[in-house]
Amino acid sequence: MITTLTRIISAIGWVAFIIWCFLTLLVIVFLVDRWSNPGWKSISNRDLLDYANFSLWLLGLFLASRLIIWFVDTEQKKQSR
């Protein structure tokens, strides 16, 4: 039961990490476009602020999942002794 829950939490953490990586690549592409074409409409400062907020939430979700898994593994190791 705990291993199944641990796998689900791990999967949620990795999905959050993959979404964050994809969004980071998009932001980098848009920033390069903004830098290379200064007169064209591209990513705005408001979009960058929204990306930063969303990144912090995804980072928190990923780190929380890693921390929960670490605690569960530690408790399982203590119980197996």
pLDDT tens profile 25-78: 999 998 888 888 877 777 888 888 999 999 999 989 989 999 998 998 888 888
**Amino acid present at 24:** T
Q: What is the pLDDT of residue 33?
A: 84
- What residue spans define the domains of the chain? 2-80
* Per-residue DSSP letter, 40: S
Q: What are phi and psi of 49, to 5 degrees?
A: -65, -40
**CA-to-CA separations, 43 to 22, 23, 31, 39, 59, in angstroms, rounded:** 16, 13, 7, 12, 22
Quote helix, strand, coil % in the chain, to nearest 5.
90, 0, 10
Global pTM reads 0.73
Q: What is the pLDDT of residue 57?
A: 93
